[in-house]
Structure 1
């Protein structure tokens, strides 16, 4: 399954009466642990990156880690989310970067 938008994810959750976990990530081990647990539970997942994570791991590495999670766990929907974008430039950079 490709990355999905939170809009479609939230619609399904609302209609199905369930919640979706959203977890901040900043390295490979955290992404692996969270996505493998979600796969075991067959649960949709939001992976969030913060300003600090982007400073620590860099935008490109974080996006590629999430893309790897999608490849490794194709049976669950995964969304990528900027957690509390601090300014317009950061938000625009994330949108432009996928």
Structure 2
């Protein structure tokens, strides 16, 4: 099988009552191990590339590692996902290079600015058959060298979710 969208993948998981693993990738050994394990278990999976992975391994290498895994294991069902895209340009680059899903993380912006950025990514992505995940709120911790201190963290406010969507 080839790359699929997470929409298709999640629909089957809901119907089949199972979970789907999502794994960050950044080198050949990780991709090989995940492909072998998923093949042995006949399990779909989401392979994710973070900003750090894209910086370390370079986008074209990551894309070709996933293509090699699918060539070696044509039975696999895989979604290729950008994890925490920081801006429109990064999301666009991933969409244009064959990712089937992107996450735009505009949580560092004001609510209205986050909505505008997410909408821009959604419009571009959907025109290319790509699924989008957005983010509200910020958890404390470090992700791709961006540190969010505990006092700066904010949980998703349920009253904002409907408007965001």
Fold shared per TM-score above 0.5? yes
Larger-Rg structure? 2
- Please tell me whether residue 36 in structure 1 is matched to residue 41 in structure 2: no
Other-structure match for 1:21: 21
TM-score (norm 2): 0.58
Deviation at 1:83, TM superposition (A): 0.5
Query: Which whole-Å deviations, capped at 9, do the CAs of 1:15-62 have from their partners, x for residues lacking one?
Result: 111000000000000000011011111100110000000000111000
How many residue pairs get aligned? The number is 98
Structure 1 runs of 4+ aligned residues shifted over 2 Å read none
Q: Work out whether residues 2 and 76 of structure 2, in 8 Å CA contact, stay in contact via their aligned partners in 1.
A: no
More strand by share: 2
Distance in 1 (CA, whole Å) between partners of 2:42 and 2:56 is: 30
- Please tell me whether residue 8 in structure 1 is matched to residue 8 in structure 2: yes
User: Which protein, 1 or 2, shows the higher relative CO under an 8 Å CA cutoff with sep ≥ 6?
Assistant: 1
Distance in 1 (CA, whole Å) between partners of 2:9 and 2:30 is: 22
Deviation at 1:86, TM superposition (A): 1.0
Other-structure match for 2:153: none
Distance in 2 (CA, whole Å) between partners of 1:83 and 1:22 is: 10
TM-score (norm 1): 0.97
Q: Work out whether residues 47 and 79 of structure 2, in 8 Å CA contact, stay in contact via their aligned partners in 1.
A: yes
Distance in 1 (CA, whole Å) between partners of 2:11 and 2:83 is: 20
What SS does the corresponding residue of 1:4 show, helix, strand or coil? coil
Mapping of residues 11-90 of structure 1, within 5 Å = 11-90=11-90
Q: Which sections of structure 1, spanning at least 5 residues, go unmatched?
A: none
Question: What is the Cα-based RMSD across aligned positions, in Å?
Answer: 0.7
